[in-house]
Structure 1
Amino acid sequence: MSNPTYDLVIVGSGIAGAIVAHQLGRQGKKVLILEAGAPVPVDRSGYMQTFFKANAKTPESPYPPTTQNPTAATPDNPLGLPDPATENAPRYTVLQIGAWRNPKQCYFDYPPQPPYLKGDSPEVTFAFASSYERIGGGTTWHWLGTSLRLFPTDFTLKTTYGHGVDWPGGQTFYQALVPYYEKATDVIGVSGDKTQLDTLYTQFKVSPSGQYGPDYDYPMPAIVDSLVDQAFDVPAVTTLTVDGNPVYLTPTPQGRNSLPGDRRQCAGNTNCIPICPIQAKYDATVTLGDALQTGNVEIRYRCVASNIRVDDDTAEVVGIDYISYDEHTGDATGSGTVTASKYLLAAHAIETPKLLLMSNKNKNFPNGVANSSGQVGRNLMDHVMYLAWGLAKDPVYAFRGPLSTSGIESLRDGAFRKNRSAYRIEIGNEGWQWAANDPFTTLADFVFGQDTNQLNGNAVNPQGQPLRFNPNLPANSQLFGAQLVDTLNGIYVRQIRLGYLIEQLPDPDNRVELSPTETDHLGLPRPRVTYRIRQDYERDGFVSAKQVSTEIFNAMGATEYTRTPPAPVLYGAADQVTATNFQYQGNNFTFYGAGHIAGTYRMGDSKSDSVLNARQQSWDHGNLYMVGSGVFPTIATGNPTLTIAALALQAADNILQDLAAA
């Protein structure tokens, strides 16, 4: 394979890499993308069939490499998960969270725990709870579509509230990003309601013109609110306050069509995660296709970047090595090096630091590429999620519409951030699917006489009130026929769910490193992840979320069924530590991952404590840039994809400017 010199080589074809490729291709620049995973299919029917047959409808279930293979199940591997050591481009999956201590089942390698852990120890290492894809189009294949901007104070968390760090330039950086936010909203094709959101931004003293630009509006009107939304949007709820902030609902801006256009209009399939069957929801294959149509962009699939070459004298990047393969579990079929004037890493917040850490270790860069600060891989963040669920007093007909159409954004900022994490509240339309694996769990409860979901037994709420759905039936009833159907219908149509996206502070000990022992099939080291929720700032956010959920459910007359998780096992062998449980202030909590992996190659004002400058350019190597949520100094409270897209558009302009000046 020939290796021509390109203007730009990009590693990764997700939303950030696709946007930069498209912007440069439009300007006549020659761009090559290296993608570790499988090509974008001609149509998604194959993915849909895999999804239909999957027992677990997890975010990764439709996509290669498949994690759904019941014939591979064994007593030691009951989920039938593939061994990452046999795969050429493995990735972390939701199903692997339960296998986090078994290197044959889990892509991540976790450091061992001490033999005894006491009480409320902050040093418990948890399983990381968010997954991602390594295929053409990246993780937007399974994103929800939420397209929120960050608030100005999110860029000045340290200055304003005394926690975390500021983004480089703070408010100046935010103001420079506003026009890119507008452009990103157009690229994705966001449906939203500017008028209602103006009310929210006024609360936070952000003028509409400062947030949007004087004449800007969303490309399409907001998705119609659901009956679930309407059940929450009642005076008893909207007159509540939390730490001085009012509680009110706003339609969620989202990257799906509310009207017919280049994509089909949303049909309300309620399985946006993991896959939109009609592609009403934006994914990066749209922009990737536009990039390829310029005639200036080339993509090589199944090519895994393995090393970044750096010139010893100039510190410039001079090439990226890759290994190619044809079959996901087959032998490598080739290798090569690609060269360009500029290089861009867009391989997500786990794979990008992994590549940097395993590259070009010599006397000038002993800790890996772009790592003179020692910050590569550090400050791993996510929105750690608290889930609460219940039954509305009247039918709301869940399981219809996009997974979420409205949210409570009014609690994302305020003086309380001096003391605890902020959060946004996502209102779910999918019943208890995420919270309790329904409709399957409740069905099994009433068929087999179980009480997993607390509807068919003697469970009581914290006030001592019974939770049995039908008090006229005995506990652990086994139902069939019309009685089973009527009971299930009475439950499913009333299920409601709240999800709290709690901001997590950057912590240098939360990090991605290279495993010293575990490799993939190509012999490349797998990531070793250390992850903790150990700061009171975010733990107090969980306490607040639990209290607020109960207040909201009580105000709307709903019955709360949020299960109190068991206390974490903090003693004995390492694999006895409960993966995603922690205890704080007498409460037991389970946290969930939002899929918002951030922070591992952050921007900053100083070379000493960041990987990139404000232009998303390496402090160490002038022709190396990075994009994606790994550049975020803090994660704030908004879903990150719109900010990722805005930053990618900004980075594209910076790269074009530097190419012109070269």
Structure 2
Amino acid sequence: MEDFQIKNQATVFDVIIVGSGAGGGMAAYQLTKAGAKVCLLEAGGFYDPADPKYITQLKFPYESPRRGASTRRAFGDFDAAWGGWEIEGEPYTRKNGTEFDWFRSRMLGGRTNHWGRISLRFGPKDFKRKSIDGLGEDWPISYEDVAPYYDKVDQLIGVFGTKENLPNDPDSIFLPPPKPRLHELLLLEANKKTGVTTIPSRMSMLTKPINDERGSCFYCGQCSRGCMAYADFSSSSVLVKPALKTGNLTLINNAMVREVLTDENGIATGVSYVNKLTLTEATVNAKIVILAASAGESARLLLNSKSSRFQNGLANSSGVVGKYLHDSTGAGRSAFVPSLVDRKRYNEDGVGGMHVYSPWWLDNAKLDFPRGYHIEYGGGMGMPSYGFGFGIENQNGKYPGRNGITKDAGGYGASLKDDYRFFYGANIGMAGRGEAIAREDNYCEIDPKVVDKWGIPVLRFHYKWSDYEIKQAKHMQDTFEEIIHSMGGIPNGPKPGADTNYGLLAPGRIIHEVGTVRMGSDKNRSVLNKYGQSHDVKNLFVVDGGAFVSQADKNPTWTILALSMRTSDYILEQVKAKNL
């Protein structure tokens, strides 16, 4: 007898996609353009940055209803981030002293609405790291396999930068980069002395139009708020919106997917989900199921999809689902630069983020840690926010300025405003983002005792940084110190030491988690084949960061997009060949 509480949808779609971020959005775009009937399920609400209901771009800080008080949004009232590390009703747990923090995005387009848009290709070495240093595993694919798809992503979405011919930081099909700002010119000069390679950034904002649907960047510096001109890349604007226009996409928002359904032959038949608004449960059926819910969520779905045939979770005959979880390393430092005080005012907003960055520049064979990191730089005269600081006091309680000038700071009224004007734009920041080693003992699993507000079992995390990552963070801090002094700067606060793992942030804080359903050639040691297809369930695919074998010292989004496009093409080929 049919359960009357569960609403079954009669339509059988060609494809169901769970998650609308980089991987899910790209799959929806590719498959609907090819004529497939696709159902896209998103756990969050609808979002369009050009819709007046959602616009936060170009608003002043004082327009916040909280006027600078704390907000429940992870990055402030105006940031396009619906979600965070902690979401009411959606707990997760930790074991054995784990500090892992899990970011979830609950909106159409997922994290692509509020990310830094640092759009880096993995290099040839990044796919074959075990062959180089003996750690982790090689990918079952090479850079040459992915390069044609990187090219297509470049042309479809747009990325600015410059051709540098660096061996493990491949060039893209670039749009012109924005010019460096004053603090970035100082960094470029300083790094001529330090030897730290520093080049124009590679980011997905349109510095010139590439089609009629999207405008070009007007340099307001607020990409994290969502772009009314669609000049930056977000899956919601650039991929899902065109997919909807085909008429082949059915979008279901506020759909918290509970499990992937299978038949008696172990073939995926669809998914069940909870409608978060009505608190009712429904099922959607399809010939092919694609998971793109994020590395953590996709692992959670597979582990919760148990049956008599799949007692350890769906597609988990290897026991690998949830294992090899890893996030980028992250550590930072800031400094006061006296030569930048009391300078002429002009519009220095630029794109939303850095105009220059430093790709990994050293040979690990000469270092005490494997892999590497890149450096992201911040500073300039962007819009001040609440909590805007001054600089560094010297030993006499004065603030150092240009040409040896010192100045008292503090007070209120005219004196305070004068201080702000004097020190405005004189601080710079540096953030290292590096590669961690994927290890089996860093994992997520189902907590047997805790469920979320919809009754779905939640994830429990176990994660610990190794000495490799801690030594990498120490190298970051040494490098930051060297750069600061080369600029004539004064570090803000003491240099982080061993007691804080050299400022190494908790895993999960960089929001680059990958690896929980990794691909591989050996089905006993991996979940997916080289096309993101489950070894166990032929019509089940994963196109988010969970498929990654290793992270690289680059942000993962451009590779998620390229691999999702590659998987989509493979699905179309297999359907045409009647293998799916």
**Cα deviation digits, residues 584-610 of structure 1 (max 9, x gap):** 4xx565558222121111111211111
Correspondence for 1:78: none
Which of 245, 250, 254 is 2:203 aligned to? Answer: 254
Correspondence for 1:180: 149
Distance 1:365 1:432, change over 3 A: farther
SS state of the match for residue 532, structure 2? coil
- Residue 39 of structure 1 deviates from its aligned partner by 1.7
Aligned residues: 550
Correspondence for 2:254: 302
CA RMSD of aligned residues (A): 3.0
Which of 192, 211, 218 is 1:267 aligned to? Answer: 218
SS state of the match for residue 273, structure 1? helix
**Cα deviation digits, residues 480-534 of structure 1 (max 9, x gap):** 233222222232221111110021111222222223333322211232222321x
SS state of the match for residue 156, structure 2? helix
TM-score scaled by structure 1?
0.76
**Cα deviation digits, residues 456-495 of structure 1 (max 9, x gap):** 586xxxxxx9885579667xx6412332222222322211
SS state of the match for residue 323, structure 1? strand
Confirm whether residue 339 of structure 1 aligns to residue 285 of structure 2. yes
The one-letter amino acid paired with 2:145 is A
The one-letter amino acid paired with 2:149 is Y
Rounded to whole Å, the distance in 1 between the matches of 2:524 and 2:431 is: 37
Correspondence for 2:93: 110
Which of 383, 386, 409 is 2:331 aligned to? Answer: 386
Confirm whether residue 479 of structure 1 aligns to residue 486 of structure 2. no
Distance 1:316 1:590, change over 3 A: closer
Confirm whether residue 164 of structure 1 aligns to residue 136 of structure 2. yes
Relative to structure 2, which stretch is displaced further, 267-276 or 253-262? 267-276
The one-letter amino acid paired with 1:614 is K
Contact 2:81 2:114 in 1 (8 A): no
Write out aligned runs for 1:65-464 (5 A).
91=83, 93-94=84-85, 96=86, 107-113=90-96, 124-128=97-101, 131-169=103-141, 173-194=142-163, 197-198=164-165, 200-201=166-167, 204=168, 211=170, 217-218=173-174, 220-234=175-189, 236-241=190-195, 247-261=196-210, 262-276=213-227, 278-285=229-236, 286-312=238-264, 314-326=265-277, 331-332=278-279, 334-359=280-305, 361-395=306-340, 400-401=349-350, 402-411=352-361, 414-416=364-366, 419-429=369-379, 439-442=385-388, 455-456=392-393
Rounded to whole Å, the distance in 1 between the matches of 2:536 and 2:397 is: 62
The one-letter amino acid paired with 1:630 is G
Correspondence for 2:428: 496
Correspondence for 1:621: 537
Contact 2:12 2:285 in 1 (8 A): yes
SS state of the match for residue 144, structure 1? coil
Distance 1:591 1:479, change over 3 A: farther
SS state of the match for residue 261, structure 2? strand
Contact 1:412 1:423 in 2 (8 A): no
Contact 2:80 2:226 in 1 (8 A): no
Correspondence for 1:606: 522
**Cα deviation digits, residues 402-458 of structure 1 (max 9, x gap):** 21111011427653477334000111246799xxxx753355xxxxxxxxx873586
TM-score scaled by structure 2?
0.86
- Residue 266 of structure 1 deviates from its aligned partner by 2.0
Contact 1:6 1:32 in 2 (8 A): yes
Task: Extract unaligned runs of 5+ from structure 2.
Answer: 1-7
Distance 1:417 1:322, change over 3 A: farther
Correspondence for 1:35: 42
Distance 1:49 1:22, change over 3 A: closer
SS state of the match for residue 321, structure 1? strand
The one-letter amino acid paired with 2:223 is C
SS state of the match for residue 481, structure 2? helix
Rounded to whole Å, the distance in 1 between the matches of 2:497 and 2:369 is: 27
- Residue 274 of structure 1 deviates from its aligned partner by 4.6
- Residue 564 of structure 1 deviates from its aligned partner by 4.7
Rounded to whole Å, the distance in 2 between the matches of 1:137 and 1:282 is: 10
Task: Extract unaligned runs of 5+ from structure 1.
Answer: 67-90, 97-103, 114-123, 242-246, 444-452, 459-464, 568-581
Contact 2:302 2:314 in 1 (8 A): yes
Contact 1:431 1:497 in 2 (8 A): no
Percent sequence identity is 28
- Residue 364 of structure 1 deviates from its aligned partner by 2.4
Contact 2:318 2:525 in 1 (8 A): yes
Rounded to whole Å, the distance in 1 between the matches of 2:381 and 2:429 is: 6
SS state of the match for residue 224, structure 2? coil
